[in-house]
């Protein structure tokens, strides 16, 4: 039986940009899928297709047991969505915004009011509740938008980069809210550029790049694919690279990589801290002075880098654009 969110072969093109190039997803009920990918990978497009805001060129999707293409209205009634850019009414207060959402979902005035108060507190917005939202900071809008998505608790939720623009404290706060939500049985698809967030919240991760899902698995499974633990050594003298590499060859389970300019050597190992101690002893015996040494386990960053050949948390230039979007715009 397909999961609470299921997609097969989703394709969406904009002109000659293939934003989605055959995306398959299957999210079991009550779990969190982290859709991870760099700028322009197709995350928002996937969310928009699954939430009926965009019609895919081809492919199919079933959300909460309902066919997205055949019955978009019913899908909309069964999902909650918090978009990448906060959608709040500037002229209403935070409280009014939340109450309005409740009324849109046919809640009675009294429960809508109570729910609004509860959420304003949960998202640390109680003090600002009765100010028009145009006076809110970016992080406050973001939180209000997330609260709005939670006014009713739909069985399936989509959150597009929910914590982008939040400070660490508020990010933590949102993680707690999300965990509560999921422990109540909600299925969640969340997109993120923060590997730590996917690691922390997602049961499964789908890595997206160029409109394709290029890998899926739990965080641990993805890390295991990248290889196990490694010893990293930074030697003090450039001349020590060669002898150090001979030492490492004796301990390594594979080839040593050398980054000359950083005087850094990396070798895959098994044996953990005990082995690390032996490596240090051997380097010491040979009189090789080291600036740094450590045991590294792969992070999701490593996974991402090895899968896509580039880092996930891509830095935008000062115009807030990124390379790939720039290329697209140049092509216009």
Q: Does 37 bind ligand ATP (CB under 6 A)?
A: yes
Strand, helix or coil for residue 235:
strand
Q: Determine which residue in the list 19, 44, 59, 283 makes contact with Mg ion, applying CB under 5 A.
A: 44
Nearer to ligand ATP, 193 or 308 (CB): 193
Please give the sequence-ordered ranges of beta strands (E in DSSP) within the chain, or none if there are none. 5-14, 17-27, 32-36, 58-63, 66-67, 79-82, 156-160, 187-192, 204-209, 212-217, 230-235, 257-259, 264-268, 290-296
- Of the candidate spans 37-45, 62-70, 103-111, 237-245, the one that interacts with ligand ATP by CB under 6 A turns out to be 37-45
Report CA Rg, the chain: 24
Nearer to Mg ion, 32 or 151 (CB): 32
Instruction: In whole angstroms, give the CA distance from residue 21 to residue 249.
Output: 43
Q: Does 17 bind ligand ATP (CB under 6 A)?
A: yes
Could you tell which of ligand ATP, Mg ion, none binds residue 328, using a CB distance below 5 to 8 A set by kind? Answer: ligand ATP
Q: Determine which residue in the list 7, 23, 33, 43 makes contact with ligand ATP, applying CB under 6 A.
A: 43
CB atoms near residue 73 (< 10 Å): 8
* Site size toward ligand ATP, by CB under 6 A: 16
Nearer to Mg ion, 20 or 283 (CB): 20
Q: What DSSP line would sit under 86-130, residue for residue? A: ----TTSBHHHHHHHHHHHTT--HHHHHHHHHHHHHHTT-TTTTT
Distance of CA 42 to the CA centre of its chain: 13
| Residues from 195 through 254 that contact Mg ion (CB under 5 A) | none
Q: How far is the CB of 192 from ligand ATP (least distance, A)?
A: 9
Residue written as token pair 């101690």: 277
Q: Does 207 bind ligand ATP (CB under 6 A)?
A: no
Q: Does 41 bind ligand ATP (CB under 6 A)?
A: yes
Instruction: Phi first, then psi: give them for residue 210, nearest 5 degrees.
Output: 50, 40
* Site size toward Mg ion, by CB under 5 A: 3
In the numeric block, which tokens belong to residue 169? 């404290």
Q: How far is the CB of 288 from ligand ATP (least distance, A)?
A: 44
Q: How big is the CA angle at 53 (ends 64 and 189), to the nearest 5 degrees? A: 45
Q: How far is the CB of 161 from ligand ATP (least distance, A)?
A: 6
Q: Does 45 bind Mg ion (CB under 5 A)?
A: no
Instruction: In whole angstroms, give the CA distance from residue 184 to residue 215.
Output: 28
Q: Determine which residue in the list 34, 44, 61, 202 makes contact with ligand ATP, applying CB under 6 A.
A: 44
Nearer to ligand ATP, 160 or 199 (CB): 160
Q: Does 83 bind ligand ATP (CB under 6 A)?
A: no
CB atoms near residue 64 (< 10 Å): 18
| Residues from 83 through 102 that contact Mg ion (CB under 5 A) | 84
Could you tell which of ligand ATP, Mg ion, none binds residue 103, using a CB distance below 5 to 8 A set by kind? Answer: none
Q: Determine which residue in the list 76, 113, 203, 324 makes contact with ligand ATP, applying CB under 6 A.
A: 324
Q: Determine which residue in the list 34, 42, 56, 80 makes contact with ligand ATP, applying CB under 6 A.
A: 42
Q: Does 328 bind ligand ATP (CB under 6 A)?
A: yes
Residue written as token pair 């009713």: 152
Residue written as token pair 């700028």: 39
Q: Does 51 bind Mg ion (CB under 5 A)?
A: no
Q: Does 39 bind ligand ATP (CB under 6 A)?
A: yes
β-bridge pairing 66-67 and 230-235: unpaired
* DSSP summary character for residue 261: G
The contact set with Mg ion (CB under 5 A) reads: 43-44, 84
The contact set with ligand ATP (CB under 6 A) reads: 14, 17, 19, 37, 39-45, 84, 193, 324-325, 328
């Amino acid at each position: 039986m397909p999961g609470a969110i299921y997609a097969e072969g989703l394709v969406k093109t904009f002109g000659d940009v293939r934003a989605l190039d055959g995306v398959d997803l299957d999210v079991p009920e009550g779990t969190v899928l982290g859709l991870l990918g760099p700028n322009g990978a197709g995350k928002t497009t996937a969310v928009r297709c699954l939430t009926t805001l965009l019609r895919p060129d081809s492919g199919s999707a079933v959300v909460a047991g309902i066919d997205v293409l055949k019955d978009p209205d019913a899908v909309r009634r069964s999902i909650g969505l918090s978009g990448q850019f906060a959608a709040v009414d500037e002229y209403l207060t935070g409280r009014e915004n939340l109450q309005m959402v409740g009324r849109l979902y046919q809640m009675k005035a009294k429960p809508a009011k109570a729910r609004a108060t509860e959420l304003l507190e949960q998202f640390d917005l109680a003090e600002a509740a009765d100010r028009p939202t145009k006076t809110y900071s970016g992080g406050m809008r973001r939180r209000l938008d997330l609260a709005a998505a939670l006014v009713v608790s739909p069985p399936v939720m989509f959150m597009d980069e929910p914590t982008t623009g939040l400070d660490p404290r508020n990010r933590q706060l949102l993680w707690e809210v999300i965990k509560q939500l999921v422990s109540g049985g909600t299925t969640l698809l969340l997109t993120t550029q923060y590997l730590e967030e996917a690691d922390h919240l997602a049961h499964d991760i789908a890595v997206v790049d160029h409109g394709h899902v290029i890998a899926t698995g739990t965080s641990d499974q993805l890390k295991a694919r990248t290889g196990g633990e490694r010893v990293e050594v930074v030697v003090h003298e450039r001349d020590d690279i060669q002898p150090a590499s001979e030492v490492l060859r004796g301990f390594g389970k594979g080839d040593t990589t050398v980054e000359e300019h950083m005087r850094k050597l990396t070798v895959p190992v098994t044996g953990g801290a005990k082995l690390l101690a032996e490596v240090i002893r051997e380097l010491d015996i040979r009189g090789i002075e080291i600036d740094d040494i450590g045991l590294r386990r792969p992070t999701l960053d490593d996974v991402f880098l090895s899968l896509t050949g580039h880092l996930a948390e891509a830095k935008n230039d000062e115009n807030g654009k990124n390379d790939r979007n720039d290329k697209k715009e140049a092509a216009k």
